Amino acid sequence: MRVAVVGIRGMGKNHLSAAKKCALVREVAGCDISEDVRASVGAEFQIPTFGSVDAVLRDFKPQVLVVATPPNRHGEVVRAAFERGVAVLTEKPIAESLKESQDLVELGERKGVPFQCGFQLRYCGMMLKVKNLIDAGELGTLGRVSLTQYSGSHTKLGYMTRERTGGIFYEKLCHQVDIFRYLLGEPERVMASAAPTVLKHYGIDDNVLAVFAFPGGKQGVITFDTRRAAQVDAVEKPGRDFEGREAGHFYELTFTGDRGTAVYDAWTSCVDVMRFNHREDLKTEWVRRIDLRKEGCESAYDLSGQDGDFFRHVAEGKAPRFPASDALKSMQWVERAEESLRRNGAWVEV
Ligand SMILES: NC(=O)c1ccc[n+]([C@@H]2O[C@H](COP(=O)([O-])OP(=O)(O)OC[C@H]3O[C@@H](n4cnc5c(N)ncnc54)[C@H](O)[C@@H]3O)[C@@H](O)[C@H]2O)c1
């Protein structure tokens, strides 16, 4: 199989690594409009590179195109691939607007081309462990999934603009919206509210509280906050990474059922499992710690699981495991959350 990755500066490099690791993939190519990026990444990965999507489709003839351009540049690349019947795995979000996302999914279906969106949290080691806990009944019936994220320091200037990304739910929080749907089913309504932006370079809301309500009172909750990042930025240490503990970043996901709760901390890479006890003392018992690194689990930025799964489905002529038509439902909730933000926290329903 021949795989080409378009947009190879940031996330694209993780896709190149995943393609190189996959036994099904014989040849890998990169594509980027930036000459500097082509030169450095081409040399790093020892791959041929191309300066436009048309050139890579015409001259390299990939069976799969992985799209890792900025969100507002997904559409042009995805359309070019569909025109040639080439399967597409695109980075999240599908596109920077719901309309564009819908158009792309419809076009893929009309052309009969495999199309998946990279919500890789569904595949990562943490999720596989947590899903096992849930399926084994350890947490009881899952009723609540929540994210607390104190975002890291300065990202690249211009990276977070609305024009480029579509908004905070499109750019960042779409992952969690997708996880809520994956674990809790279809939401009924959402409310999202934003405090004033504190990071000046953030063109979009950077302090968000959101509640997704599901049938039976289940909830998906997001607290996303850049105040800590603003403190770290104020120290002004150039070259500081924007993710990771060193950048003031904190990321915790909690999965709570009626029997217990599992808490994932991104920087220790551990999941703590606790059990609610209904005996008379009612004490919550700590059950165990799952150390994801020690157990050799894939991190959220190792895309081998997701990309390999997509390549395998394409090679076998099967529809993707998580088709873009399903990701589109997450995108609809992303747009409803953005609508709630625009309406100052009003509940938005189906
Ligand atoms: N899944 C995740 O966890 C995750 C994390 C970060 C970013 N992303 C997504 O990955 C995508 C890329 O983000 P990034 O941070 O790597 O961006 P980036 O700006 O670092 O890299 C994008 C690259 O695309 C190139 N490019 C732009 N338009 C192009 C075109 N038409 N043809 C070829 N190359 C083009 C740019 O020159 C640049 O090198 C976005 O969709 C983003 O949302 C996903």
CATH number at residue 208: 3.30.360.10
Ligand 1 close to Cβ of residue 96 (< 6 A): no
Residue ID of nearest Cα to ligand 1 atom 31: 73
- Examine the fold and report which residue of 113, 132, 155 is the final residue of a domain before the chain moves on: 113
Preceding peptide of 114 cis, ω within 30°: no
Q: Which two tokens stand for residue 105?
A: 């999914």
Whether 78 and 67 have beta carbons less than 8 Å apart is answered as: yes
Query: Same structural domain for residues 109 and 133?
Result: no
- The alpha carbon dihedral of 120, 123, 125, 130 has a sign of positive
Query: Same structural domain for residues 128 and 85?
Result: no
Ligand 1 close to Cβ of residue 9 (< 6 A): yes
Ligand 1 close to Cβ of residue 33 (< 6 A): yes
When divided into structural domains, the chain yields a total of 2
- Crossing angle (nearest 10°) for helices 324-342 and 174-184: 120
| 93 C-alpha to ligand 1 centroid (Å) | 11
| 172 C-alpha to ligand 1 centroid (Å) | 13
Ligand 1 close to Cβ of residue 38 (< 6 A): no
Ligand 1 close to Cβ of residue 5 (< 6 A): no
Domain hosting residue 26, numbered range? 2-113
Residue ID of nearest Cα to ligand 1 atom 4: 11
Ligand 1 close to Cβ of residue 297 (< 6 A): no
Residue ID of nearest Cα to ligand 1 atom 7: 11
pLDDT values of the chain reduced to their tens digit, one per residue, 350 residues = 999 999 999 999 999 999 999 999 999 999 999 999 999 999 999 999 999 999 999 999 999 999 999 999 999 999 999 999 999 999 999 999 999 999 999 999 999 999 999 999 999 999 999 999 999 999 999 999 999 999 887 777 788 889 999 999 999 999 999 999 999 999 999 999 998 888 877 888 889 999 999 999 999 999 999 888 888 888 876 667 778 887 888 999 999 999 999 999 998 999 999 999 877 778 899 999 999 999 999 998 899 999 999 999 999 999 999 999 999 999 999 999 999 999 999 999 99
- Examine the fold and report which residue of 92, 113, 134 is the final residue of a domain before the chain moves on: 113
| 44 C-alpha to ligand 1 centroid (Å) | 18
pLDDT of residue 239: 67
pLDDT of residue 238: 63
- Examine the fold and report which residue of 56, 88, 113 is the final residue of a domain before the chain moves on: 113
Query: Same structural domain for residues 274 and 127?
Result: yes
Residue pointed to by tokens 């909690």: 254
Mapped onto helix, strand or coil, the DSSP state of residue 288 is: strand
Ligand 1 close to Cβ of residue 77 (< 6 A): yes
Name which of 161, 167, 181, 268 is nearest 224 in CA terms.
167
Atom of ligand 1 nearest to the CA of 119: 1
Q: What are phi and psi of 109, to 5 degrees?
A: -70, -40
Query: Same structural domain for residues 141 and 176?
Result: yes
Q: How far is CA 85 from CA 12, 56, 109, 201, 237, in A?
A: 21, 14, 11, 39, 47
Query: Same structural domain for residues 172 and 212?
Result: yes
Q: CA torsion 309→133→271→331, rounded to 10°?
A: 50
pLDDT of residue 154: 74
pLDDT of residue 242: 77
Whether 66 and 19 have beta carbons less than 8 Å apart is answered as: yes
CA dist., res. 77 & res. 88, Å (int): 9
Ligand 1 close to Cβ of residue 220 (< 6 A): no
**How much is the pTM?**
0.96
Q: Where are the beta strands (DSSP E) in the chain?
A: 2-6, 27-31, 49-50, 64-67, 87-91, 115-118, 142-150, 189-194, 207-213, 219-225, 250-257, 260-265, 270-275, 285-291, 348-349
Query: Same structural domain for residues 97 and 158?
Result: no
Query: Same structural domain for residues 162 and 292?
Result: yes
Q: What are phi and psi of 294, to 5 degrees?
A: -65, -30
Query: Same structural domain for residues 60 and 155?
Result: no
R_g of the chain, CA atoms, integer Å: 20
Query: Same structural domain for residues 100 and 206?
Result: no
Residue pointed to by tokens 């938005």: 348
What single-letter DSSP state applies at residue 77? Answer: H
Which residue blocks in 22-161 are alpha helix, DSSP H? 35-45, 53-60, 74-83, 98-111, 125-135
Whether 108 and 80 have beta carbons less than 8 Å apart is answered as: no
